[in-house]
Amino acid sequence: MVRRRGHGMTEIARAGARVGTIAAVSVAILLRGFLGADLPVRVEAYDGSVLGPVGARTVLRVRSPDAIRRVLTRPGELGIARAYVAGDLDIDRGTIFDVLELRHARPDLRLRPADLLAAARLLDLHRPAGWRRLRVPAPPEEARPRGRRHSKRRDAAAVTHHYDVSNAFYDIVLGPSMTYSCALWERPGLTLDQAQTAKYELVARKLGLRPGMRLLDVGCGWGGMALHAASRYGVHTVGITLSEPQATFATQAARRAGLAGRVTFRVQDYRDVSDGPFDAISSIGMVEHVGAARLPGYAGRLFGLLRPGGRLLNHGIASPSEAVFRPNPFVARYVFPDGELPEVGRVVSVLHRAGFEVRHVEGLREHYPLTLRAWVRNLEDRWDDAVREVGANRARVWRLYMAGAALGFEEGALHIHQVLAVRPTAHGSSGVPLRPDWEPAAHFPETTPR
């Protein structure tokens, strides 16, 4: 059966349709019922059927009936994500952002009775053998955390799942800066590395870093902030992470830069740091791992590690509403186990209750999609290298996660803020200038005084 429409730009073709007591169904017919006929991509299926414009720049391939089985047994985002991660769905050419446009055709992703009937016919579920093949194991990249949520042991396991993929893989995605957090795109034309340096510089200025200070960098990643602070500001820095590969990489980077005497990296939980006080604390992209219930303990611990008059800069993704945002099942199982995003107002309140005085809050929502899209470009440009390093399944996990997150920030489903707080002295002094001094002075036209 061939159906053509619109000068041949949209077609549904079926090769070798099964004919019997049950009406023949193709993958294209199933998808046309679920998504409609006018798609932004071309879909080519294992049964020879196709759907979508012939000249589309992006081709989504349905490689196996297991793709449909996964969606039937776990409807919604998780089933589709499992099919993509396993390679049952794949992108032959083009960009994942084109594929994600399909979400507008069916935002709720719920299967209607007609969808279920068509899928049942396609998979021969009217026969016992069809039912026996229905359940497909989840891809092995799926995480199943064990133990008490946000205990030290479980947090360490979650961080290992998230970060200990491969330093070489992160180099492909993140580029030379090896910085896995939102960059600061101060002006058009910046490279990703320049934007990441601009972020570190903004954090350093907000913290008021000066030579001889001690800085604690909580969740230091591959050492970018600690190395920036030591090289540009002459501070002595302690960076802590729960990832052994990160700590090793950062220590080696410090040696190469001649900073080994000023920077120390440790595999350590923030709850176990005991060598305060510090003059300043930076926490960049770490609060998302703390857990909403443990925020008061997090704030109290950092308060206790900071000297009176010292500043804390907390940089983290946030929920857009008062409810704690928990990632969708795909992100929670494949990328960000136990991740929880509190609303920025809750972060501010928790810091106040711990004894801090919050002095400045800045939203950077528009900056994160620019960062994420740069990471996706890096990954897609070196796709074969990434697959050789971590395997196709893992590479697909990160491609889908980063692209979906970029859209989440663009559409306002995710926020990100920098919160600057100070531990006041016993006499109430904050040491913060009357007006922020971390941005260039604004230029106003001269006016004639009245």
Q: Can you give the pTM of this predicted structure?
A: 0.88
Shared domain check, 271 and 157: yes
Q: Evaluate the CA torsion angle 363, 366, 369, 375 in order and state its sign.
A: negative
**Domain of 192, in residue numbers:** 152-422
Is the pLDDT score of 7 beyond 80? no
Shared domain check, 386 and 262: yes
Shared domain check, 188 and 335: yes
In a domain, 28, yes or no: yes
Shared domain check, 193 and 118: no
In a domain, 430, yes or no: no
pLDDT at 149: 62
**How many whole angstroms separate alpha carbon 256 and alpha carbon 12?**
59
The secondary element (H helix, E strand) that includes residue 130 is helix 128-132
Contact 368, 179 (CB under 8 A): no
Shared domain check, 127 and 178: no
Shared domain check, 54 and 15: yes
pLDDT at 108: 73
Average pLDDT of span 333-341? 81
In a domain, 142, yes or no: no
Shared domain check, 164 and 110: no
Written as six digits, the tokens of 213 are 């200070």
Shared domain check, 334 and 187: yes
Dump pLDDT digits (tens) for 19-63: 333 445 799 999 998 888 888 899 999 999 999 999 899 999 999
> pLDDT band at 194, cuts 50/70/90?
very high
Q: Which carries the bigger pLDDT value, residue 14 or residue 418?
A: 418
Written as six digits, the tokens of 332 are 């929670």
Q: Quick one: what percent of the chain has pLDDT higher than 70?
A: 87
- Residue 15 corresponds to which amino acid? A
Shared domain check, 125 and 157: no
In a domain, 147, yes or no: no
In the numeric block, the tokens 């989440």 are attached to: 408
The chain-wide mean pLDDT, for the chain, equals: 87
Shared domain check, 196 and 124: no
Give the total number of structural domains in the chain: 2
Is the pLDDT score of 163 beyond 70? no
In a domain, 431, yes or no: no
> pLDDT band at 93, cuts 50/70/90?
confident
Distances (CA, A) of 278 to 212, 236, 426: 11, 10, 17
In a domain, 433, yes or no: no
Shared domain check, 207 and 89: no
pLDDT at 430: 95
DSSP 322: S
In a domain, 434, yes or no: no
pLDDT at 440: 64
Task: Enumerate the β-bridge partners of residue 360.
Answer: 420
Shared domain check, 402 and 342: yes
Dump pLDDT digits (tens) for 114-143: 888 888 888 888 777 777 788 899 998 887
Beta strands in 268-305 (DSSP E): 278-284
How big is the chain, counted in residues? 450
Residue 222: CATH number of its domain: 3.40.50.150
Distances (CA, A) of 136 to 50, 69, 133, 395: 24, 7, 7, 21
Question: What does the angle CA 305 – CA 310 – CA 314 come to, to the nearest 5 degrees?
Answer: 75
Is the pLDDT score of 343 beyond 70? yes
Is the pLDDT score of 174 beyond 70? yes
In a domain, 137, yes or no: no
- Residue 137 corresponds to which amino acid? P
Is the pLDDT score of 276 beyond 90? yes
**How many whole angstroms separate alpha carbon 397 and alpha carbon 334?**
7
